[in-house]
């Protein structure tokens, strides 16, 4: 699908909106201005691609709202070369943002059809994280530890496995709450015994399923 002047113009306006809503990290805004979000949409829904809203991607799941992607990515403080685990691959858009920031990305998805679809589609666009199928509420121990972990589905509590799979100084960004509203949390692992917790604003995510998610 082509990336026309019209798409680029709409993307610029969307990025301006994110700035007005408080996103300050220039590198996050820059990569989001580069990535053509409309290619993650079916042709019939193209006009929704540059609105600041979540959108269904099938299998009862959504591509997160651009503001949410920008907010979570900003909280992660991504540095080039960071090893990052993303839980909830979905459309692959968030993974594309992280890869574009120079991170080495491991992404895991619970729903097989979505995993298969995105694993094929995203590398065709030039973004190549490592794809995994399974229950990310347990993390991905085989490739731990990670510098950063981002959870893109709403969790009932913070899964302890995720904290144990972070390096010292590592960051976990995760929405935690009930089925409707979750607070965004940033947990920094100062040491094995000390976790610093910061609480941010409310969001509304689809539920994190699995062993340490919603049953």
Catalytic residues, by residue number, are 64
How is residue 208 annotated by DSSP? P
Contact 132, 107 (CB under 8 A): yes
Q: What angle do CA 33, 39, 42 make, to 5 degrees?
A: 140
204 binds ligand SAM (CB under 6 A): no
According to the binding rule CB under 6 A, does residue 152 interact with ligand SAM? Answer: yes
- The β-bridge relationship of strands 83-87 and 104-109 is parallel
Output the smallest distance, CB 162 to ligand SAM, in A: 11
Binding ligand SAM (rule: CB under 6 A), the pick from 31, 67, 94, 146 is: 94
Q: Closest approach of Cβ 177 to ligand SAM, in Å?
A: 14
Which one among 18, 31, 62, 98 touches ligand SAM, defined by CB under 6 A?
A: 62
My answer on whether omega of the bond before 145 falls inside 30° of 0, hence cis, is yes
Q: CB under 6 A: which stretch of 13-21, 45-53, 77-85, 203-211 binds ligand SAM?
A: 203-211
61 sits near ligand SAM (criterion: CB under 6 A): yes
Closest contact distance (angstroms) between CB of 115 and ligand SAM is 9
Number of residues written out for the chain: 215
User: In what order do the strands lie in the sheet containing 182-189?
Assistant: 130-133, 104-109, 83-87, 146-151, 166-177, 182-189, 195-203
Q: Which residues bind ligand SAM (CB under 6 A)?
A: 61-64, 87-88, 90-91, 93-94, 108-111, 114, 135-137, 152-153, 205-206, 208-210, 213
């Amino acid at each position: 699908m082509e990336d026309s002047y019209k798409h680029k113009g709409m993307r610029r306006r969307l990025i301006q909106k994110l700035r007005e809503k408080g996103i300050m990290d220039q590198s996050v805004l820059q990569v989001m201005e580069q990535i053509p979000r409309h290619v993650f949409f079916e042709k019939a829904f193209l006009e929704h691609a540059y609105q600041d809203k979540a959108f269904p991607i099938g299998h009862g799941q959504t591509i997160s709202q651009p503001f949410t992607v920008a907010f979570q990515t900003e909280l992660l403080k991504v540095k080039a070369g960071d090893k990052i685990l993303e839980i909830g691959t979905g459309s692959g858009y968030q993974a594309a943002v992280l890869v574009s920031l120079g991170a080495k990305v491991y992404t895991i998805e619970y729903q097989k059809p979505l995993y298969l679809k995105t694993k094929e589609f995203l590398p065709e666009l030039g973004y190549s994280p490592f794809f995994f199928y399974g229950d990310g509420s347990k993390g991905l121990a085989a490739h731990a530890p990670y510098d950063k972990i981002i959870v893109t589905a709403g969790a009932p509590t913070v899964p302890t496995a995720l904290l144990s799979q972070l390096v010292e100084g590592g960051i976990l960004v995760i929405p935690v709450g009930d089925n409707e509203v979750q607070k965004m949390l940033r947990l920094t692992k100062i040491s094995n015994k000390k976790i610093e917790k910061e609480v941010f604003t409310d969001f509304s995510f689809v539920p994190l399923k699995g062993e340490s998610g919603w049953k």
